[in-house]
Amino acid sequence: MQMEQPYGEVNQLGGVFVNGRPLPNAVRIRIVELAQLGIRPCDISRQLRVSHGCVSKILARYNETGSILPGAIGGSKPRVTTPNVVKSIRDYKQADPGIFAWEIRDRLLADGVCDKYNVPSVSSISRILRNKIGNLSQPGQYEGAKPSAPQLPYGPVYPYSYPNAVSPSTAKLGSPPGVAVTAGHVGLSRAWPSVHTVSNILGIRAFMEPSAITGPEGYQPKMEEWASVNRAPFPSSHGLNGIDKSPIEADIKYNQPSPNLTGYVPACAYSASQYGVTACGGASGTYSPHWQSQSAGALSHAGGGAMGQHGHNLHSAMTFKRPPHVGNRKPPSPLSPVGKQQQEVLSGAPGLSGAPTTS
DNA sequence: CTCGTAACGGTTGAT
DNA sequence: GTATCAACCGTTACG
């Protein structure tokens, strides 16, 4: 726990990662972006130095849910036996003391108290009957138990209300973009410049974060939270994919045109820088103490600061972590049309490509 | 060579 | 305040 989660480890591809923790949001976004550009997962894996297993997983999830964000880590399950559910069970039991647990279960579904995703198991209902409703006469004192998530439909609907989320969140995560991207419509945008394209977001991020980031106290909302937050919208309300993606896709597409690509390059650059930093960091020591914030930091230099002073620093970082050894990273697929294209894309990112090729 | 997936060791957060 | 537990993480290795 004291895990300052310092440096993280290096995977077989030379990428830096923190075991047990999600990849930086920026990287996740990049994975999706690159995939959208038609770059193959294996190439994305190599370029970003993220295991193909991870790329596969992230893309699969994205295709499935439209979200690029990691799932909520830790904590207990939403807990289906909410006060409301317990109350209903009690009512059913009262109305019909001889009712079976499975019947209660059916009724919960029929009455819309629960849906198939959060309906308690028969055994749970039995337990509730036993433990909490042993004596019907006793009104449940159980009401107010769970303030949050009273009976969330799918779990995703977390009532989270970030108080001052805005600055902190943005600052801390450095990854909110993902949120914005995927769940722009949610409400999160509260502080967010609204949906905006990925690139924009990234760009924005670059600008915003620095300040925000620097400021934040230390605690971070954590990506997972965000995830949950933005996740909410997907499943239920709007069409997942359609809507979710649209923001992103649209953006990407928008960028797709070569020219645009360059435009969105900054994002790449920064993310790259982030990586570079982490990677190179080893040497420099800059590392990424907390990749999240760090990344933000990096990014801040890159984007926000226009890298002024840090420029050089960045450059060094930019080396894109091309490992010393690795002679020539497979000149990007010799031919695969895609390869070429992708290469451009990648290389498009200033900084990024530069280094690699050299080495 | 690619890519999906299980195993693995890890972190997190609610209970 | 500490332990458990169950969720997720990314990497690795296998197929």
Indicate yes or no: strand B within 7 A of the C-beta of A326.
no
Q: Where on strand C do bases come within 7 A of a protein Cβ?
A: 5-13
Q: Looking at the predicted structure, is the pLDDT value of residue A17 above 60?
A: yes
Instruction: Give the rounded percent of residues in chain A with a pLDDT score beyond 70.
Output: 33
Strand B interface, A 26-45, C-beta < 7 A = 40-43
Burial label, A64 (beta-carbon count in 10 A; 0-12, 13-18, 19+): exposed
How far: A250 CA to C8 C1' (Å)?
29
**Please, what is the angle between helix A101-110 and helix A83-95, to 10°?**
120
pLDDT tens sequence across A93-110: 888 888 888 888 888 888
Which residues sit close to strand C, CB under 7 Å? A 11-13, 15, 17, 19-23, 28, 50-54, 57-58, 70-77
Main-chain dihedrals φ then ψ at residue A190, nearest 5 degrees: -25, -55
Q: Looking at the predicted structure, is the pLDDT value of residue A348 above 90?
A: no
Q: Looking at the predicted structure, is the pLDDT value of residue A111 above 90?
A: no
Distance, CA of A330 to CA of A336 (rounded, Å): 12
Q: What is the identity of the amino acid at A49?
A: R
What predicted TM-score, i.e. pTM, was given to this entire model? 0.52
pLDDT tens sequence across A217-264: 334 445 455 544 444 433 333 333 333 433 333 333 333 333 333 333
Query: Hey, is A9 helix, strand or coil?
Result: strand
Q: What is the identity of the amino acid at A324?
A: P
Q: Is A205 left (phi over 0), alpha (psi -120 to 50) or beta?
A: alpha
